[in-house]
Amino acid sequence: MESHLKVSKNTIFAFLTSIIDPELNVDIVSLGLIYEIVLDDTGKNGSSVLVKMTLTTPGCPLAGMFYQRIREGIEALDGVDPKKVEVEFVFDPPWHPGLMTEEAKLQLGWEES
C-alpha cells in the first residue's frame, strides 16, 4: 500500500505557528526562528522533514522544549515518516529582532530605530 497523503510545507508552517515561546508569548514562526523546512516526499513510508531553526540566544533554556514539541508535532502529521523528522539548531546567521514579523514586533513593543 503505497498511497500516502502528502504533507506540504504550508501544513508544517501552520503547525509551527502553534508553538508559542512561553517567555515572549509569540509563536516561533512570527519570531523569525524558523529558517528553513526541507521536505522530501520520495520515501515509501511518508515524507522526511528537516526543520532548520535558531534561537534568540545560543544558550536558550527552551531549546529542549522546542525540539521535543516540533518533533512530536511533525511526526504526528499525516504523510510524514515519523522516523525521518529532524530539528537542527543553527546560529548562522544569528537571530536578530529584524527577523520578526511586524505583528510580533508590535506585540512585543519593539520599535526599530
Closest CA relative to residue 53, chosen from 30, 76, 28: 28
Q: Cβ(86)–Cβ(39) under 8 Å?
A: no
pLDDT of residue 79: 93
Integer CA distances (angstroms), 41 to 7, 11, 15, 71, in order = 8, 14, 18, 17
Assigned C-alpha cell, 79? 504523510
Asked if the structure places residue 32 within a domain, the reply is: yes
Q: Percentage of the chain with pLDDT > 70?
A: 95
CATH code, domain carrying 67: 3.30.300.130
Closest CA relative to residue 9, chosen from 77, 65, 83, 58: 77
Q: Mark out the alpha helices in 26-101 (DSSP H runs).
A: 63-75
* pLDDT(4) > 60: no
Q: Mark out the alpha helices in 28-108 (DSSP H runs).
A: 63-75, 102-108
* pLDDT(1) > 70: no
pLDDT of residue 3: 43
Closest CA relative to residue 39, chosen from 89, 86, 99, 93: 86
pLDDT of residue 112: 61
Residue 51 sits in which domain range? 9-91
What is the tens place of the pLDDT at every residue in 40-87? Answer: 988 888 999 999 999 999 889 999 999 999 999 999 999 999 999 999
pTM of the predicted protein model: 0.90
pLDDT of residue 2: 46
Asked if the structure places residue 109 within a domain, the reply is: no
Asked if the structure places residue 113 within a domain, the reply is: no
